[in-house]
Every structure is written in C-alpha cells, then in structure tokens.
Amino acid sequence: MRKILKYVLLALLLILIVGGITLYIMSRPDVARFSTAETSGRVPVMGAQDAQTIPTINVPEATSWPAGQAPRAAAGLTVQRFAEGLDHPRTILVLPNGDVLTAESQSPPRDTSGIEGAVMSKLMTKGGTGRRPSANRITLLRDADGDGKAEVKSAYITGLNSPYGMALVGDTLYVANTDALLAFPYVAGETKMSGKPVKIVDLPAKGTNRHWTKSLAAAPNGWLYIGVGADSNIGEKGMNREFRRAAVLEVRPENKYMRTFAAGIRNPVGVAFYPGSDQLWTVVNERDMLGSDLVPDYLAEVDEGDFYGWPWYYWGGFVDPRVEPEAEDRRQYVRRPAYALGAHTAPLGMTFTQGLDLGERFANGALIARHGSWNREPVSGYDVVFVKFGANGKPAEALPIALLDQFLGKDGKTTRGRPADVKVAKDGSALIADDTGGVIWRVAKAG
C-alpha cells in the first residue's frame, strides 16, 4: 500500500512539474524579430504566425508627468501644455471660432468576473485606465488671448455615456456615446450647452462591448460615418455578437437611417475625410495573439462595400488559421490596407494636415496618435507620427516620422502619458490629447 501511495505521489509530482514547465513555456513573451519600422509602410514585413494560448503581456506602468517635463517634439518645433488637469481626454474637436472640445471618457463599467475579466481589469489599471469611473463629459477649452494656453475650461456637456466621436455639421453638434448617436443644437461662443440632445440612432454596445469607442466623421454632404470595433479578438464569442461591429457605419441624420458601409475592419478608431474630397480614411487596431510581429495595425481607405477580411483574413488575404473558414470563401475580395503602422502600436486618433503650420516637412499627410502596445515585446507606439501623402491622395513610400514622442520612459517600463488623438488648431498648431497624462499638448514652430 505504501509503495502504491509512493508511486501515486511521484506521479502527481511529475504532473505538477511537467504542467509548470509547460505553463512557463506557454507564458513566455514572444519577442519581436522585426522592428516597428519594418512592420510599417506600404509594404510591411509579414512575420511568421505564432498562435498564442496565453498572450504576450508587456504593459508599461502608467505614471504622471513631472512638473516642467513634456514629450519631445520634432526638431524645430516646441511643445507646451495647452490645457491640463483633465480626466482622460480621449478626442478633440476644433470649432470654427477656435474653441476646442475634448471628450473626457473611459470605457463603461465592465464585467470583471472570471479570469479574463479580472486580468483585463488589472492590465487596464496598470496602463492608466479604469482606475476610476468615466468622467462622461465634454469640456470646452478657450485660448482667448492667443498665448497657446487655454485660460477657460468649462464643462460643456455632462451626463454622457462614454462619449468619444464628435462632429459639427452646420449648427448641429453630433456626439457618439458608446451606445447612441446624439445631436445637440450648437451655439457659437457658449461655454455650456444650453440645448437638449436628440437621439439619432442606437449604436452597438451589447455583449462585453470590448471595443467601446465610437469614432465619428462628417462627410461633405452631412452624412455621418462611425467606426465600431469588434466585440472580440477573432470572433471567438460567436459572429452573432458582431452585428454591425468591426465595421464603419453610415448614418443619414435627416431620416435617422443607418447601414453598414464597410465591414471586416476589426477596430476602426480614427476616421477622417481627405481634404477637399469625399474619400474616407480610417486607422485600425488589428487582431492579437499571433505574436509580437503580427498583425500590423493600419491606415486604410474606406469605400462603400469594402471588406477588409476580419476575422478570417488579414492584410489583404493572409489566412488566420485560428478562425473557422467562411461558409462562402471571400478571400479574393479582401481589400488590402494602404499603409501599415507597425504591429500592436494601437493607432487611435487621426487627422489630415490641412491648415497645419509646422513647415513643409509635415505638409500633405496624416497625423496619427499611436496609443501604444500592451502585448508586444518590446513595446511599440506611444507617439504621434506623420504619414506623408502623395499628389494622388494616397500614402507615399516614406516611413512614418515622429511629430511627438518620449511618452514612454527611458526604461521602457513606464509611461508619463499616452497619446489618444491629434487635431489641427485654428492657428495652425497641432493639439494632442494625452489620455493618461490628463493634458492637451500644443506643438508649434519654435519661436
């Protein structure tokens, strides 16, 4: 009997040792073989797939900006605090009179039960979000004396539900909450919204609402285009939960009509129209858990009926083996993105540089705020970059160049802030929303 017990104990010990070794190997971070530059541009390197059961987790600890410190601007430019003391400024809208609106927002309350929910909650807290409830407001900032600092800071609209996208069309201000598109009567010069909202349409927010942001752009004809992220990584919770998700939606406010404009786009966050045209562009956060080199986030044109492949395909037709094949193979119809922005860089806000007065180096292109990775070794993003466009209205061959960086600490283990949006101010400077830093930065010509 003692011999049997001894063998049982040895067997259990062996199982524990093997299981521990297996878990250790599975949880080891996948170190990138290619640089962010190599996984960027019009023809990025496509690394080998490394399907993961446990994702690479590499989240820098969020700290705050010490007094007198700021991110680094490109040569010949200066950076200063346009506004500070904000509660997670996520997006920016510059109004015709020069006033600036910023949506102070975080994700709505999440289900933190279970292992996945608890892990995500911990990672978000470490990365600087989720430490307190969303402010759920839009704040108005005004620099009346032109010194590059907002001396007026007013709660313009309160009581919202994780607001994100904003667009002004005529005298109507549209605000995209996480669950609905609202319309407010806009009166120039007001520091507090006096009118009441009208709901235009409901927006997808059921399930986990994993990708909660609802970005917004207005077309020249007044129709609205809303970027809606997937409720999952690769549809693993069932594609029935992805109705009108992983898509750009078209809304016609005059009759409250909504339809899917383009699909297969995992998480289209920033959306904007190329100046002087009706060509819509978006920046997209691609899928996770294929390794540190895959998949590149990207910048893409969006036309009616486009299909960018999610969840079955990525980058124009590469097959994701983790996803059950489509009943009807559409691989030949997958559109390839125009420009890669590096693997896991998490591009959020974008704007075109019309009206920007930062010199010829930053003329005719797109500015993109890369929020930064949580699942790549080494980390990537944590900067604002410029992508040059050619005379044909498409990205040029050149790689992105940094407008503003060093949000990440020198050790790569901490952040002072995380860029979330970028817009062009009325005076030609660039305004950058620093989500976890609570600052709106202003980049202008030196002197």
Question: Over the stretch 138-176, which tens digit does the pLDDT of each residue have?
Answer: 999 999 999 999 999 999 999 999 999 999 999 999 999
Whether 209 is in a domain gets the answer yes
Say how many domains are in the chain: 1
pLDDT at 3: 59
Please check whether residue 300 is in contact with residue 308, taking contact to mean a CB–CB distance below 8 angstroms: yes
Tally: H helices and E strands in the chain:
2, 30
Closest CA to 222 of 261, 266, 254, 256: 254
Per residue of the chain (447 residues), what is the pLDDT tens digit?
Answer: 555 655 545 555 445 443 443 333 444 579 999 999 999 999 999 999 999 999 999 999 999 999 999 999 999 999 999 999 999 999 999 999 999 999 999 999 977 666 666 666 677 788 887 768 999 999 999 999 999 999 999 999 999 999 999 999 999 999 999 999 999 999 999 999 999 999 999 999 999 999 999 999 999 999 999 999 999 999 999 999 999 999 999 999 999 999 999 999 999 999 999 999 999 999 999 999 999 999 999 999 999 999 999 999 999 999 999 999 999 999 999 999 999 999 999 999 999 999 999 999 999 999 999 999 999 999 999 999 999 999 999 999 999 999 999 999 988 899 999 999 999 999 999 999 999 999 999 999 997
Is residue 205 in some structural domain? yes
Dist. CA 52–CA 420, nearest whole Å: 28
- For residues 67 and 74, what is the distance between their CA atoms, to the nearest angstrom? 21
Token match 């640089």: residue? 35
CATH code, domain with 107: 2.120.10.30
This prediction has a pTM of: 0.93
Backbone phi, psi, residue 5, to 5°: -60, -40
**Structural domain contains residue 386:** yes
Alpha-helix residue ranges (DSSP H) falling in 68-147: 114-127
**Cβ–Cβ contacts within 10 Å for residue 163, how many?**
25
**Residue 431, domain member (yes or no):** yes
Residues 68-72: contacts with CB within 8 Å, 24+ apart? 69/416, 70/441, 71/404, 71/405, 71/406, 71/407, 71/416, 71/417, 71/434, 71/441, 72/404, 72/405, 72/406
- Contact by Cβ (8 Å): 278, 219: yes
Does the residue 32 lie in any domain?
no
Kindly report the number of other CB atoms within 10 A of residue 300's CB atom. Answer: 23
26 within some domain: no
- Domain containing 192: what range? 51-445
- Tell whether 98 is covered by a domain: yes
Let me know if residue 144 belongs to a domain.
yes
